[in-house]
Chains A and B, each alone.
Chain A
Amino acid sequence: MSVDLALARFAMMLRELGIRVTTAELLDATCALAEVGVTDRERVRVALASAMVKDSQQMPAFNRAFDLFFSPPEVLAEYAGKHARALSEKRAELSKASEELLFLGEPVDLTDLQKSTYARLDPEDQERIKEFLDRSTHGKKVGPSFRPLIESIVQGHLDRWRQKLREEGIEVAVPVPETGDLLVDGLLDEIAGMDLDSSFLHRDLGQVRDEDLPYFERVTRELSHRLATRLSRRYRMSRRRAQVDIRRTVRSSISQGGVPFHLKFRARKVQKPRLLLFADISGSMSKYSGFVVQFLLGLASVVDTMEVFLFAEELEHVTELLEPEMGMRQAAEQIMEHSAQWGKGTNLAASLQTFLAEYRSYATSDTVVIIVSDTKTLCLDEAEARLTLLGEMTRDILWLNTLPRQEWDRIPSVGRFSRHVKMFECNTLAHLEGIVRDEVLRYQY
């Protein structure tokens, strides 16, 4: 394999790992190799990294890809062979699910992920799903019109199973997108099973273990502090676009006999946003909400006011319990001590009803509402109607959805609420920082 071809394949592999390598960067990498030679492995690694990776967070992925890709030929052949075998097993697994899960003699419509989940289940659990489909097929007056209902039951069941397996530490792998190159796909398979991200920024906040909490708290505080200090700095507007402040210029020119020697410019007025935070603290949501609350508390200096409401079955106003310097555990302890909602089920409709009845005055035309929730709630119709009303009363509603984006299509409430709010995927600190920086704090200007 020529050096150019090897580099092109390596770039393809990096792209699959989320490292954007442009053609220009690939050319730079080729020139870099020509400069440093290919005899010293570490030197090649550094040269390629400097040309192809432009984000330190991506270094672990790059290093892992480099180690694998530049292995001896026999090792590479082994990876390619392993991938070919895995591919045929996977195909067999998916087709087995399609053959076994039938309704009225036709396969149930499932995603590859759902089929893989089915393959991971114990035989008894698989049998239970098959029995359900069998009973449904042979039920009285069952016709093709039942198909959407039956399919959604099976899909929901498999999604819940996947969640359960995940909680037990069994990760059902999302199929790695295939490039068609057996070697590259084989190496991607190897990488898919590794934990590449040492920074914690991309870890799911719902999966944070108790022993890692101090680290996460520190990172959250740092990110929040960094944003706050960056954005609270006041400065005079650029002269390029500034307006001369005639009054101040004329006043200052008096001492120079009326010659406007020193031009005075209008200072930029920083408008701080007013925030209303609704954090879902039902069951699995409480951890996510804890992080968002802590993050936003750290921004106290760059927002005008921030009112914090927690909700589960009902709504609670907790602003007074929280202080800007509080860590997540402290905030959580305060809330658990005073809140009757911690860990209950979710009823957004009832919570919004309480807000509209008792705290309506907080919702003004310059208020930005932030909702942290996975959208799963009782009384969907009422919740949607009240959300619409809240949207009309306020400037914007930003919904931080903790569900992974690939699951949104399957959850009806996501589609319903998305019509009235700006919805963002938010289950890692990296998501949270990006949303606050790019969405929440832009209301400052």
Chain B
Amino acid sequence: MDIAELTLPRLREGFKSQSYIADDDIVVPVYLALKLGKPLLVEGAPGVGKTEIAKVLSGLFGFPLVRLQCYEGLDENKALYEWNYQKQLIRIQIVKDRYDDTQHVEDEIFSDAFLLERPLLRAIRSPRRSVLLIDEVDRTDEQFEAFLFEVLSDFQVSIPEMGTLVARHIPIVVLTSNRSRELSDALKRRCLFLFIDYPSVEKETRILKAKVPEAGDKLAEQVAAAVHRMRSMDNLKKKPSIAESLDWTRGLLAMGASELDAHAVRSTLNLVIKHKDDLSAVLEKGCLCSLMEASRRAER
């Protein structure tokens, strides 16, 4: 698919072909990011499908996916490039008694062969257009965010020993954030924003059916309704994500369950609820009943 000829209906179809169920609230911002050439900042709770958007775009356009997984302490060496220090050292050791021409050795050890490309540089130097996924950008510190912002503005980097490298193709940039901290205004200003909330029962049913087609209508509807009910519980420490409801459905199928019943829920609940106190809360008699009731209502 060519971005220049992209239309909203085609993008919507494209998402569907990649088994990503998305309505206009997701497709329109993605479409605009592609059309306006802007980075897309995707926020939402863990497991709602933020990262998946980059994978879908990569699959859809056939562009390679370059992923930069952020974490606290990430610096530009690990994000951009590093010289292969060990390799340089070995090279120096090998040639130290043979060459007098030190300039030649220096040129050699600061060449492409000794450069370790990290994700940002890989995306910039990619011979084809790529999808650059900067995952969980909120985990980095403000300093790195400022550096990132610089790179994303110009899509060029300066390596003192090699000069300035300019991107051959501007990548499609998708940033994700779990909102563990506020991102800077400067970064947000340059991105289009997409917030992905937990889906409605109806949408989650469609997602389950698309991702786990063998589940069938009945089980998919029941699981979606039960998970929706769990998310509405105030006392849960961690709400189940879409990824977990998919795991739960697959787990139920593996256990041979074709519909939700109290036994099936009890034996597979730890696939969707990951905290001991939450498990106890859901397994409380009244709560379990309301869960079953919710899934029965969905079935009706």
Stretch of B25-33, B57-65, B244-252, B265-273 that contacts chain A: B25-33
A238 touches B28 (CB 8 A): no
B237 touches A221 (CB 8 A): yes
Q: Please report which residues of chain B, range 162-217, place their CB below 8 angstroms from some CB of chain A when the two chains form the complex.
A: 179-181, 185, 188-195, 197
Dominant SS at the A interface?
Answer: helix
A35 touches B35 (CB 8 A): yes
**Using Cβ atoms and an 8 Å threshold, which residues of chain A touch B72?**
230, 233, 235
**Quick one: closest B residue to A35, CB to CB?**
B35
B77 touches A238 (CB 8 A): yes
- CB of A191 within 8 Å of the partner chain: no
**Quick one: closest A residue to B86, CB to CB?**
A261
**Using Cβ atoms and an 8 Å threshold, which residues of chain A touch B85?**
263
B73 touches A54 (CB 8 A): no
- CB of B8 within 8 Å of the partner chain: yes
Would you give the 0/1 interface string for A35-56, flagging 1 where the beta carbon is closer than 8 Å to chain B? 1100000110011011101111
- CB of A102 within 8 Å of the partner chain: no
Given contacts A46-B29, A50-B28, A238-B77, contact A28 B86 (CB under 8 A): no
Given contacts A237-B73, A238-B77, A259-B89, contact A226 B180 (CB under 8 A): yes
Q: Please report which residues of chain A, range 370-410, place their CB below 8 angstroms from some CB of chain B when the two chains form the complex.
A: none
User: What is the distance, in angstroms, from B118's C-beta to the closest C-beta of chain A?
Assistant: 12
Q: Please report which residues of chain B, range 17-55, place their CB below 8 angstroms from some CB of chain A when the two chains form the complex.
A: 24-25, 28-29, 31-33, 35-36, 38, 41, 43-44
**Quick one: closest A residue to B29, CB to CB?**
A50
- CB of A240 within 8 Å of the partner chain: yes
A51 touches B24 (CB 8 A): no
A43, A46, A51, A437 — most chain B CB neighbours (10 Å):
A46
**Quick one: closest A residue to B27, CB to CB?**
A46
A35 touches B31 (CB 8 A): yes
User: What is the distance, in angstroms, from A428's C-beta to the closest C-beta of chain B?
Assistant: 15
The distance in angstroms between the C-alpha atoms of A230 and B85, with both chains bound, is 31
Partner of A53 from B44, B73, B193 at Cβ < 8 Å = B193
Given contacts A42-B24, A226-B180, contact A240 B76 (CB under 8 A): yes
**Using Cβ atoms and an 8 Å threshold, which residues of chain A touch B194?**
50
**Quick one: closest A residue to B187, CB to CB?**
A54
User: What is the distance, in angstroms, from A206's C-beta to the closest C-beta of chain B?
Assistant: 21
User: What is the distance, in angstroms, from A417's C-beta to the closest C-beta of chain B?
Assistant: 28
- CB of A32 within 8 Å of the partner chain: yes
- CB of B111 within 8 Å of the partner chain: no
Chain A: number of interface residues, binned into ranges: 35 or more
**Using Cβ atoms and an 8 Å threshold, which residues of chain A touch B180?**
226, 230
**Using Cβ atoms and an 8 Å threshold, which residues of chain B touch A24?**
189-190
B73, B76, B85 — most chain A CB neighbours (10 Å):
B73
B192 touches A28 (CB 8 A): yes
- CB of A31 within 8 Å of the partner chain: yes
**Using Cβ atoms and an 8 Å threshold, which residues of chain A touch B235?**
214, 218
B181 touches A238 (CB 8 A): no
Would you give the 0/1 interface string for A207-229, flagging 1 where the beta carbon is closer than 8 Å to chain B? 00000001100100110001000
- The residues of A with any CB-CB pair to B shorter than 8 Å are 20, 22, 24-25, 28, 31-32, 35-36, 42-43, 46-47, 49-51, 53-56, 59, 214-215, 218, 221-222, 226, 230, 233, 235-240, 259-263, 437
20 other contacts beyond A50-B28, A218-B237, A236-B73, with CB at 8 A cut-off?
A: A20-B185, A25-B189, A35-B36, A42-B24, A43-B28, A46-B25, A47-B29, A50-B32, A50-B33, A50-B192, A56-B43, A214-B234, A214-B235, A230-B180, A230-B181, A237-B73, A238-B73, A239-B75, A261-B89, A262-B86
- The residues of B with any CB-CB pair to A shorter than 8 Å are 8, 24-25, 28-29, 31-33, 35-36, 38, 41, 43-44, 71-73, 75-77, 85-86, 89, 93, 139, 179-181, 185, 188-195, 197, 234-237
The 3 A-B pairs of least Cβ separation, nearest first, read: A235-B73, A238-B75, A50-B29
A-B contact pairs, 6 of them (CB 8 A): A36-B31, A50-B33, A54-B191, A56-B43, A56-B195, A236-B73
